[in-house]
Structure 1
Amino acid sequence: MSQEWEYQIRLDLSDEGADLVRNDSSNEAIRPLFELLAKHDAALHNQFDAFAGYVAEAEREGVENYPLYKWTKATIENPEKKAKYWRSFSLYVDGREVYPKAAADALEADLSPLVGGLVTKLAKYDSNPANNPQPPAHLR
């Protein structure tokens, strides 16, 4: 039987778009984005915030139980990476971090016309570990 991978859509926003999402989500400039997300029961989750939350939890609970701790901490402490992930968002659908391909394809298709303005990048990732980055040996 073949493996059915699940998927996640991620998008990067312009500096202005990320600022609006974080501080003024009712602003007309980002209304089309939020309307599309509502259509798919999707929500934005900021990558930097997720990384910082992971680090804080690891430090509270004991870093030895968090295999990505060193890598994630190094990422959020790097100013260039912080700026990158501050603008990067994962989309959750129906409250799920990963979801069936059909849901990801539909979301990706509807979001594609927004690329080039507030949305600067749109990508679809699968849950296959072979397709996902692994931490460098010195950060494991």
Structure 2
Amino acid sequence: MSEELRYQIRLNISDDYAELARTDPQNAALAPIAAILAKHHAALSNQFDAFAHYVAEAEKQGVEHFPLYKWTKATIADPVKKAKHVKSFSLYVEGEEVYPKAAADALEADLAPLVGGRLVEKLSKHDTDPAHNPQAPAHLR
């Protein structure tokens, strides 16, 4: 039997609030998001910042040990992709990057009413099935 799928919720935060969410996620302007995250023991993790950290660690420890280094480095160097990822946030629940479906579903349900408002542009749920996740292009492996 295969391992049970785990899930992750992601938010795209509007341009007006994305930088604030990156630097001061407890700011009163983000209170609707913060209240939901607190209820679910969840926290924001900015995708661009996570990618930049991955690249920095790879360069410090040796890129040969980081299979997604070339792809990730190319992503953060591309201004169009940077603009996309600075407003994209993964939600960690109880410190975990991926979590059971029930936790993801509950978090998704509580966040859904914020979509289309002043803070949240998009909400998505992802799973750990490799068939559902993009793979690095051959030239960036």
1:29-81 per-residue CA deviation (whole Å, 9 max, x = no partner) reads: 31011000000000000000000000000000110111100000000000010
Asked if 1:93 corresponds to 2:58, the answer is no
Tell me, yes or no, if the aligned pair for 2:115 and 2:123 is still in contact at 8 Å: yes
Can you give the 5+ residue segments of structure 2 that lack an aligned partner in the other structure?
none
Q: Distance in 2 between matches of 1:47 and 1:26?
A: 18
Q: Distance in 2 between matches of 1:23 and 1:64?
A: 31
Q: Distance in 2 between matches of 1:75 and 1:37?
A: 28
- The within-5 A match list for 1:49-68 is 49-68=49-68
**Structure 1 residue 2 displacement after superposition:** 4.8
Moved over 2 A (4+): 22-29
The equivalent of 1:111 in structure 2 is 111
Asked if 1:134 corresponds to 2:135, the answer is yes
Partner SS, residue 121 of structure 1 = strand
Distance 1:136 1:109, change over 3 A: same
Q: Distance in 2 between matches of 1:66 and 1:93?
A: 25
- Give the structure-2-normalised TM-score: 0.95
**Structure 1 residue 116 displacement after superposition:** 0.5
Matched letter for residue 96 of structure 2? R
**Structure 1 residue 21 displacement after superposition:** 1.3
Q: Distance in 1 between matches of 2:9 and 2:92?
A: 8
1:70-93 per-residue CA deviation (whole Å, 9 max, x = no partner) reads: 000000000010011000000000
The Cα RMSD (Å) is 1.1
Can you give the 5+ residue segments of structure 1 that lack an aligned partner in the other structure?
none
Q: Distance in 2 between matches of 1:105 and 1:48?
A: 25
Q: Distance in 2 between matches of 1:60 and 1:23?
A: 24
Partner SS, residue 96 of structure 1 = coil
**Structure 1 residue 25 displacement after superposition:** 3.5
Tell me, yes or no, if the aligned pair for 2:22 and 2:46 is still in contact at 8 Å: no
The equivalent of 2:121 in structure 1 is 120
Q: Distance in 2 between matches of 1:128 and 1:26?
A: 32
Partner SS, residue 67 of structure 2 = coil
The equivalent of 2:39 in structure 1 is 39
Give the fraction of aligned pairs with identical amino acids, expressed as a percent. Answer: 70
Q: Relative to structure 2, which stretch is displaced further, 107-116 or 21-30?
A: 21-30
